[in-house]
Amino acid sequence: MSGNVALITGSSRGIGAKAALLLAEYGYSIVLNYKNSPDKAERMRSKIKQSGVECIAVQADVSKEDEVLRLFEEVDNLGNLTVLVNNAGVLDKQTKLEHISLERFRNVLEVNVLSCFLCTKEAAKRMSTKHGGSGGSIVNVSSGASKTGSPNEYVDYASSKGAIDTFTRGAAMELASEGIRVNAVRPALIYTDMHATGGDVNRVERLKGNLPLNRGGTPEEVAEAILWLAMDKSSFVTGSFIDCSGGL
């Protein structure tokens, strides 16, 4: 994989960080992206460089076009982009629909959906064989919430992930002839600190009994699915979804 670059948005922690580590093990140069956690990003960068690959950490709010353009300039300086993992995302405190403000809903959509659109757009310009690229793979991190709707918790977050699912299908069909595959993973009940952000740090423990596998998942397990979709082992797969959800 020497000379190939993987960009993972929101990769200073959690699923994004584990995906970055795995891709580095397979020889990809890594572009870490973060918004508010420079110390965590720097620790990740140092850890990845121990794998013997190039790694840079770039601060950028990927819901804003000017910052995405700046991020991709850094990508171009590192090498040939062949993998994009759209992992950046937010949720807010658990609450019923009637208590969700317009400002909150708009912010969730902007961060979760616009970031995916903007980064995919810039990646496609570089990967597309129509534009002289060598092709590539884009993996979107959706959520099992796109199917359940997350009633009484965060229907705004679930709605944003439903949009990601639709975007994944549309982009996959449009870009297939240009050598670009687009797929998604849909995690659910994974042990990450996102649940603390939602105000329910024990959410996985509380709900894991509802899953056929009777346990929560790990970021590493989701990262393995991302890795498979990113690499040529899944070369006949596009517009598809892997549910990393314990059977949900």
Per-residue pLDDT, 207: 78
**pLDDT mean over 197-202:** 68
* pLDDT per residue as tens digits for the range 54-91: 999 999 999 999 999 999 999 999 999 999 999 999 99
* 1 pLDDT higher than 50: no
Q: Which DSSP letter does residue 240 get?
A: -
- Counting residues of the chain whose pLDDT is more than 70, the rounded percentage is 96
| Mean pLDDT across 150-179 | 97
> For residue 53, what is the DSSP state?
S
**pTM score:** 0.94
Q: Chain-centre distance of CA 139, in angstroms?
A: 7
- Mean pLDDT, rounded, for 134-157: 96
Are 190 and 219 spatial neighbours (Cβ–Cβ below 8 Å)? Answer: yes
Mark out the alpha helices in 110-211 (DSSP H runs): 115-127, 145-148, 155-175, 194-197, 203-207
Catalytic residues: 157
Question: Do residues 214 and 204 touch, judged by C-beta distance below 8 A?
Answer: no
Contact (CB, 8 A) for 225 and 181:
no
With a CB cutoff of 8 Å and minimum separation 6, the contacts of 55 are: 20, 24, 29, 30, 31, 32, 45, 48, 49
Which fold is adopted by the domain 4-244? Rossmann fold (3.40.50)
